[in-house]
Amino acid sequence: MIGHTENEITVDAPAGFVWTHLNDVRSWPDLFTEYASVDVLAESTDSVRFRLTMHPDEQGRVWSWVSERHWDEELRVVRARRVETGPFEFMNIVWTFHEEAPDRTVMRWTQDFRMRPEAPLDTAAMTDRINANSVVQMQIIKDRLEARRRTVVAFDDVPANTRRGGDLRAMVTPVTSGSSSGFCGAVRLAPGETVTEHYHPYSEEYLYVARGRLKAELDGEAVEVAQDHALLIPRNVRHRLTSTAAGETLAVFQLSPLAPRPELGHVDTEPGPGDAPPADAPAQGERA
């Protein structure tokens, strides 16, 4: 007899958001109530091997094993197996994520397995246990992911991006909050500090100066943006931002719509601090 289970739940969040968080195995102790720790042993762009350790059971026993996951992000399918099978002869798992609507994702877990003859539970009993536990854990994950979409994000909650200059933080994003039409954040600049020139092929940028003053160079034309003033930066317009205030400048930005993939969202046209010049960058001062 082969054990087979199928369980699904609908999460009120975009599929990309659910996919990202469920495939970050390091975060599983914050998503599942049954896992105490995850130790990543090896990983690549589309796979991970890791040791999963559970909280002690009613008898104080701690269960731990090594699993391996491979995924196809385009199809949003994950295939996994236990490498250290323990009481199982084998355990194969398939997770799928189907976007039913822009903010509704059907998450489905399928498991096929067989228990060893000496295992404490036979295959039929383990099937019942997995079905019961999956319902509980899926509901917990749904509640926690939906709550994350409503979490207030502080400037210091996310890592700094200093590659183009300044201290830039993308705060409300598809990853942090499941935004589906754009993202926003803020950048802090010291007097005279610059965010180097770049442009956005897919997104408009809305810029608001909350403190200080900026000089914005748009395709080589400079405009001043004072405190409590805002500026639209259209798609494909090259722009460089420089703080012209005596103290720190704080600017809030929003970009919309999203690029098809994050790495396509920004095109650099001059090197950032410490970078080598891009191979196709124009000479300083040259504009398209």
Give average pLDDT by consecutive 10-residue segment, the chain, 288 residues: 96 96 96 97 97 91 95 97 96 97 96 96 96 97 96 96 96 94 97 97 98 98 98 98 98 97 94 64 36
Return the pLDDT at 58.
83
CATH number of 3-148: 3.30.530.20
What are the boundaries of each domain within the chain? 3-148, 155-268
Return the pLDDT at 59.
85
Task: Dig out the tokens for 179 from the structure.
Answer: 């935004």
Asked if 189 contacts 164 with a C-beta cutoff of 8 angstroms, the reply is no
CATH number of 155-268: 2.60.120.10
Q: For residue range 81-131, what is the model confidence (pLDDT) as tens digits? A: 999 999 999 999 999 999 999 899 999 999 999 999 999 999 999 999 999
Return the pLDDT at 270.
95
Q: For residue range 46-74, what is the model confidence (pLDDT) as tens digits? A: 999 999 999 998 888 899 999 999 999 99
Strand order in the sheet with 47-54: 3-11, 104-115, 88-101, 77-82, 64-72, 47-54, 35-44
Return the pLDDT at 221.
97
CA angle 264, 269, 284 (to 5 degrees): 175
Return the pLDDT at 57.
84
Return the pLDDT at 281.
45
DSSP calls for 133-186: HHHHHHHHHHHHHHHHTT----GGGS--B-TTSSEEEEEE-TTTT--SS-EEEE
Task: Dig out the tokens for 253 from the structure.
Answer: 């930005």
